[in-house]
Amino acid sequence: MNIARVTTLLLSVLLAVPAAAAISRDDLKKALDANPDLVLSALKKADKMKFFEFVVESQQEFQQSKAKEEAKREEEEREKAFKNPMKPEIGANARVRGNANAPITIVEYSDFQCPYCSQGYNNMEQLRKMHGDELRVVFKNKPLDFHPLAMPAAQWFEALALQSPEKAWVFHDTLFEHQDKLGEDYYKQLTKDLGLDVAKAAKDAKGDTVKNKIAADMAEAKKFGFSGTPGYLINGIPLRGAYPVGAFEEIFAKIKAQK
């Protein structure tokens, strides 16, 4: 194969201009596999600014394409879920806000350190104000591995809930409103301010009851395919990510239209 010809084509690709000579993709791949130094040679001759512009543009196009594919996949998943809703466990130890008989239930899988979950918290508060007794919210823990402060926060939240579910919600709200303060000293101070037993909370946070509760929440999130946070099940209909309030309202409307 003519190496000069391949180099010319590679330069054309790097500069996003028509090739000077026709060559198949397979031939180009074989030539580059056999002569990897051609890439460096071509880069030395190329206009580097045009090359990097080409790379950035290609990456943006790829990301947009993947986003469209993911949005389509999620929409198809939601349509299927309207016919066959997912069924999360809402037992006696669930962290629930709102009317137990509400026609709409949002199960939220969240991480106290996640900035997107902070926005999700704000959305849940807005929806609760808008819909009152028509809505209940169930909070479940999904602390992500790369958020080192998330698991301890979840442990303290669940520990406080063993003493007072109502005051644990105050703790929950405060953490999302002050994510920059996360840390054990802050949890102890909040627990004291709430009039709860700090020593008991610290012990319970490390105990099996709390450990098993969080593990069950995380296992359920995994079962339903939630890899990131926040994630939601709205009457069993999945919504993956920090969607705006309007996205929830659209699903609410479809649920009501079915009844």
Q: Per-residue pLDDT for 70 more than 80? A: no
* pLDDT per position as a tens digit, 153-164: 999 999 999 999
* Amino acid at the residue 184: E
pLDDT at residue 1, as a whole number: 47
Question: For the chain, percent helix, then strand, then coil, each to nearest 5?
Answer: 65, 10, 25
**Helix runs in 46-114, H state only:** 48-83
Nearest C-alpha neighbor of 207 from the set 145, 257, 163: 163
Output the average pLDDT for the chain.
86
Enter the tokens of residue 7.
């180099």
Q: Per-residue pLDDT for 68 more than 60? A: yes
Using pLDDT thresholds of 50, 70 and 90, give the confidence band for residue 204.
very high
| Largest Cα span, the chain | 81
Q: Per-residue pLDDT for 66 more than 70? A: no
pLDDT at residue 58, as a whole number: 63
Q: Per-residue pLDDT for 239 more than 60? A: yes
- What residue spans define the domains of the chain? 3-78, 85-258
Stretch 235-253: mean pLDDT, rounded? 95
User: Cβ distance 102 to 134 under 8 Å?
Assistant: yes
* pLDDT per position as a tens digit, 117-148: 999 999 999 999 999 999 999 999 999 999 99
Global pTM reads 0.75
Using pLDDT thresholds of 50, 70 and 90, give the confidence band for residue 107.
very high
* pLDDT per position as a tens digit, 84-103: 999 999 999 999 999 999 99
User: Cβ distance 129 to 91 under 8 Å?
Assistant: no
Residue with the larger pLDDT of the pair 27 and 12: 27
Rounded CA separation 203/198 (Å): 9
Rounded CA separation 84/237 (Å): 9
Stretch 45-49: mean pLDDT, rounded? 61
pLDDT at residue 35, as a whole number: 73
Q: Per-residue pLDDT for 192 more than 50? A: yes
Using pLDDT thresholds of 50, 70 and 90, give the confidence band for residue 115.
very high
Q: Per-residue pLDDT for 176 more than 70? A: yes
Query: What superfamily would CATH give domain 85-258?
Result: Glutaredoxin (3.40.30.10)
